[in-house]
Structure 1
Amino acid sequence: MTSEDRDFSTVDQTPEGSRSAAFPAAAPGRRTGRAARRAARKERGESRKSLPVWQETLLLLVAAVGLAVLVKALFLQAFYIPSESMEPGLEIDDRILVEKPSYWFGGEPQRGDVVVFADPGGWLGPEEAGEPTNPVTAMLARIGLYPTGGHLVKRVIGVEGDVIECCDEQGRILVNGTPLEERDFARPNGHGCADGAQGACFGPMPGTGSWTAGPVPAGKLFVMGDNRAHSADSSFHLCTEAETECTSDPYVDVDSVVGKVMAVVWPAGKAGFEDRPDTFDDVARPRGGAGQ
């Protein structure tokens, strides 16, 4: 076969038909991709418009409020301490954070937890019932951006089935017969126990004498303030044998608990996390079932 017999008609040898001609290299300085599209829009007068500052500010504010409401409803809520009932640990005007997930999925308050709960009915004093009076702070409090009042904060002493007694010969509260060592976190009443116990008395309200509460009913808690002489708590609302017309309920509904105090966040000098005292780990199991 001669060279004349070969057919080159199917191969286009012209520059226009070559591969390099079909996909020409970008000319020097020519924009490609996104930059090219932006340049084209600019040439056509289609520049992207940004939102006015006031609209961006409004959107950010709405997003912040929505996030705050979600966090308050599900995870964390800020409160302030309105009274001296939890001294020495929590003092008036301390700001605290309360976490809620610990009591999700069947979790319930444990002995030693410091909890915030709704008023069971007539427990709040004038100083504890107060809410922010400034319209701005009141609105911020409702959406979770400012610490709120109107609740009580106490320490859980007894849970379902527990029997609480005041007091042993050393002035200690007993839970199911186990004495609590509370010197590291509670303040004794300062007047000694009315039943003649020796030393500091961690039984509340001087002059009340010995008392027993429980068994704690199902779904209920027995709570006390750490400042035993100045706390209108479960022991304060307990009906004693000497009272013939007492209708007070000393227990708190588990369902009324907002959450557990996680940390003090203000003042900065005492900021820190709240821990459950070790003494509650040694409490004996209830001797019987929950009372009614």
Structure 2
Amino acid sequence: MSVTFDLQSVRRHPSPRAVLALFKPITWFPPVWAFLCGAVASGVPLAGSVWLVIGGMVLAGPVVCAMSQAANDWCDRHVDAINEPDRPIPSGRVPGRWGLWIALAMSGLALVLGAALGRWAFAATIFGVLAAWAYSAEPVRLKRSGIWGPGLVGLCYEGLPWFTGAAVLSGALPGWPVIAVGLLYALGAHGIMTLNDFKALKGDRLTGVRSLPVTLGPARAARMACVVMALPQLAVIALLAVWGLPLHGLAIAALLAAQLAAMRVLLSDPRGRAPWYNATGVTLYVVGMMVAASGLGGMGG
């Protein structure tokens, strides 16, 4: 089945409200939170670096994440015409090629702001911008893979801003415990992104995107997502115990136990319960990130 998309629209310019919808502010929270976790994990007092922290949070969410959303919506306009035709581009509220120009302009803004925050932020921003386009755009379009696509998004939503927050605050390469914990939470975010793919199941099937819900089916994909979310947290708990932070590990273990209870509800109806789990289990997951960050910050990063 072929899907066509008409770039013509009666509207010549997008309204500010349509542009804001294109940027999806609700998606900014994960990278902003991860940046803040990384900053806490660095062990550097935040009170003395307020502008760095604010600038980094703006870079992670309203700039880089917003750019990635615009790029993804532009590259996914044909899929969205099936899954969510009321989105800004397929609905015509962002007409013509405005979605492309906005995504490109935000890419440039991201690089400028990243450079202003220092070499570590600039390097991370370059990676983030390239990753956003590699995820969405042809011919690479890593989102076609149920393995590489969610993995890249998890890395850029959780691991990259965590690393950036720690590096920007400390002004140096973070210590290996900070990097290791950030990578583990990024790995676990692969499962979160797999659950997020449930909402696009119909369009992904029709357009050849091989997400895990498409290739494995909703039930098996949900089980795999749960395993992928849980195992890295177990590794974090073990590492915190080894590093002399057993209370932090116990707190994360309690949060994981609550997630496991929520996972049972999710697995009873994966397609119907995926949005519910994203609002409950994922919240417990990211709270655990801050618990781990506070422990690492207390031991000096």
Q: What TM-score results when the alignment is normalised by the length of structure 2? A: 0.24
The structure with the greater share of residues assigned to helix is: 2
Task: Give the greater-gyration-radius structure (CA).
Answer: 1
Larger strand percent: 1
TM-score by length of 1: 0.25
